[in-house]
């Protein structure tokens, strides 16, 4: 990497947990456009999974991922092992890994409230990946809006010399946000999963009818999701983008309408940023 940088080549970076899909590939296309060399990492980061989460079940197909990378202009796949990244997690008795990045405010909101430690795991691995890959620019998805906001914060606060681009959410034709976890859904659950984008669409329609009261919008969304048998709400929130705190009324500032819903055993997230709703790519 240092050699590539010495040659003055711009390195674009797309961090992923693999099992690649159109969402990841849209990030690769942006990196391709913006940089000379595209590095994609595949690392299922154990630090960002809680004890009762789906780490063991996380889908993986390196052969298919390599083919997709080759066809979509990825120059380098970086696929470290857990042992490479965190020796302590692999060798229980030793303590080779002991430094974590912990953001103390934004990381406690939204997904952070139900997934304690998750964003510390994300920020720690992204910091390590930045130091290993030495990218000039990195692309992250709006799909994980809170993650993107936190990484932007880390880049700013810790002076990482990395330019970050946030890419719009890629969806299936029926509105479901593409996710590696969608393969875990049964046909019934797949149908139920449409309630996330449907709730956001409803929120957008209510907003367009000039309603600005967040209570009204959230309760309509929650009513819609509660009608779906296989769905269990983790949260439905309307927050200010700058602090991720719930707001009462939508005004002139940027806001994020975000939700997390368990569909059977699979936890799905989706969001709609306002007024920058093009990032949500939500069909009418």
Q: Which of 170, 200, 255, 263 binds ligand AMP (CB under 6 A)?
A: 170
136 lies in the binding site for ligand AMP (CB under 6 A): no
Of 195, 281, 206, the closest CA to residue 238 belongs to 206
Q: On the CB side of 282, how many CA atoms lie within 13 Å of its CA?
A: 24
- Write down how long the chain is: 284
Residue 130 binds ligand AMP (CB under 6 A): no
Asked about 21 being catalytic, the answer comes back as no
Beta carbon of residue 185, minimum distance to ligand AMP (angstroms, whole number): 14
Q: State which of residues 41, 146, 180, 271 lies at the interface with ligand AMP (CB under 6 A).
A: 180
Q: Which of 12, 112, 135, 141 binds ligand AMP (CB under 6 A)?
A: 141
Computed over its alpha carbons, how large is the radius of gyration of the chain?
Answer: 19
| Backbone phi and psi for residue 207, each to the nearest 5 degrees, phi listed first | -60, -45
Alpha-carbon gap, residue 144 to 137, rounded angstroms: 18
- DSSP assignment of 201-262 equals HHHHHHHHTT--BHHHHHHHHHHHHHTSTTEEEEEEEEEETTT--B-SB--SS-EEEEEEEE
Give CA separation, 3 vs 7, 8, 75, in Å.
6, 9, 15
Q: Is 167 in the site for ligand AMP (CB under 6 A)?
A: yes
Task: Give min distance, CB of 197 to ligand AMP, in A.
Answer: 11
Contact between 143 and ligand AMP per CB under 6 A: yes
Sign of CA dihedral 114, 115, 119, 120: positive
Q: Measured at CB, which residue is nearest to ligand AMP? A: 141
Catalytic residue among 21, 24, 118, 242: 24
The residue from 107, 109, 124, 179 that contacts ligand AMP (CB under 6 A) is 179
d(CA 123, CA 125): 6
Name the residue nearer to ligand AMP (CB basis): 138 or 224. 138
Residues of this chain, 254-283, that bind ligand AMP according to CB under 6 A: none
Q: Is 201 in the site for ligand AMP (CB under 6 A)?
A: no
Active site residues: 24
Question: Which parts of this chain interact with ligand AMP (CB under 6 A)?
Answer: 16-17, 23-24, 26-27, 140-141, 143-144, 167, 169-170, 177-180
């Amino acid at each position: 990497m240092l050699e590539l940088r010495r040659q003055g080549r711009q390195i674009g970076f797309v961090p992923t947990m693999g099992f690649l899909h159109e969402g990841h590939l849209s990030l690769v296309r942006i990196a391709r456009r913006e940089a000379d060399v595209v590095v994609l990492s595949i690392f299922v980061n154990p630090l960002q999974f809680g004890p009762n989460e789906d780490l063991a079940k996380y889908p993986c197909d390196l052969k298919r991922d390599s083919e997709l990378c080759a066809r979509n202009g990825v120059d380098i796949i970086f696929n470290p092992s857990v042992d490479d990244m965190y020796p302590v997690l692999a060798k229980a008795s030793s303590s080779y890994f002991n430094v974590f990045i912990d953001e103390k405010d934004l990381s406690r909101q939204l997904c952070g409230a139900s997934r304690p430690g998750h964003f510390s795991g994300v920020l720690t691995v992204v910091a390590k990946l930045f130091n290993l890959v030495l990218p000039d620019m990195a692309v992250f998805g709006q799909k994980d809006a809170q993650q993107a906001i936190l990484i932007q914060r880390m880049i700013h606060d810790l002076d990482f010399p990395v330019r970050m681009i946030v890419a719009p959410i890629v969806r299936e034709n029926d509105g479901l946000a593409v996710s590696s976890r969608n393969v875990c859904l049964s046909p019934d659950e797949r149908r139920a999963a449409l309630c996330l984008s449907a709730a956001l669409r409803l929120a957008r329609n209510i907003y367009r009818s000039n309603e600005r009261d967040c209570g009204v919008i959230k309760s309509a969304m929650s009513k819609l999701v509660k009608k779906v048998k296989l769905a269990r709400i983790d949260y439905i929130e309307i927050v200010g983008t700058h602090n991720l705190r719930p707001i009462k009324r939508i005004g002139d500032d940027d806001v994020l309408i975000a939700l997390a819903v368990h569909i059977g055993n699979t936890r799905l997230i989706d969001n709609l940023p306002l007024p920058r709703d093009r990032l949500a790519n939500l069909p009418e």
